[in-house]
Amino acid sequence: MRARTVVTHSPEETMALGAELAQELKAPVLVLLLGDLGAGKTTLTKGIVAGLGAAPEEEVTSPTFTMIHEYGRASSGQAADRDSAVRVYHVDLYRVETARELETLGLEDLLAERAAVIVEWGEKLGPVLRPSVPGGPGSVVEIHLEAKGENERRIEIR
Ligand code: ADP
Ligand code: MG
């Protein structure tokens, strides 16, 4: 993923950026979203999930209570569809407080499925707790989001 910083001026612009970034993602990949409440992490995820073709934007909601939402799993339909579907896991670590709880989520197993794993509150996955990605450190993307005003968001891709 090419490093850059983008400033968006509406949720729609942020979703469009997410869809654009999705074109550069190749599963298995771990996408860490860092930034405060309201910074736009869920909004950006909507665009990424839609851009990956896993679900429409409006179906993507915050997994704050369930911790993980899954999109793009072709559980019905043709075998060919199932093979081509990009599986996306959308994780919210807001309520996770201990390393043990993190372990229970099994992020490494999800990545082993060659999925795209998008994590809100990526701050909670410090170097020690970060799951290993089959593609190595090159398959980890860090995106820092910051509110600069009511509708302005600074989004830095590292
Ligand atoms: P987070 O998941 O980081 O808590 P959300 O994406 O759920 O943040 O919420 C972002 C809020 O900010 C939404 O209410 C959204 O409408 C608003 N917003 C305003 N401008 C933007 C923007 N440029 N990008 C993303 N969200 C924006
Ligand atoms: Mg959120």
* 69-98 tens-digit pLDDT: 999 975 454 544 554 568 999 999 999 999
pLDDT of residue 66: 84
H or E stretch at 145: strand 140-147
pLDDT level of residue 128 (50, 70, 90 thresholds)? confident
Q: Which atom number of ligand 1 is nearest to the Cα of residue 36?
A: 3
pLDDT over 80 at 41, yes or no: yes
pTM confidence score: 0.93
What share of the chain has pLDDT > 70, as a percent? 92
pLDDT at residue 86, as a whole number:
87
Q: Is 151 in the pocket of ligand 1 (CB under 6 A)?
A: yes
Q: For residue 83, report the distance from its CA to the centre of ligand 1, in Å.
A: 33
Instruction: Supply the pLDDT for residue 54.
Output: 96
Euclidean distance between CA atoms 14 and 49, whole angstroms: 13
Q: Using the atom order of ligand 1, give the atom closest to the CA of residue 37.
A: 4
Res 158 pLDDT > 50: yes
What pLDDT sits at residue 84? Answer: 54
What does the pLDDT look like over 24-38, one tens digit per residue? 999 999 999 999 999
DSSP 52-107: TTSS-GGG----TTTSEEEE----SS-HHHHHHPPPEEEEE-TT--SHHHHHHHTH
Contact 115, 131 (CB under 8 A): no
Q: CA-CA distance, 150 to 27, in Å (whole number)?
A: 33
Q: How far apart are CA 131 and CA 30, in angstroms?
A: 9
Atom 17 (ligand 1) nearest CA: 11
Is residue 104 lining ligand 1, measured as CB closer than 6 Å?
Answer: no
11 ligand 1 Cβ < 6 A: yes
Give residue 134 CA to ligand 1 midpoint distance, Å.
31
Task: Round to whole Å and give the CA distance between 144 and 6.
Answer: 11
pLDDT at 93: 96
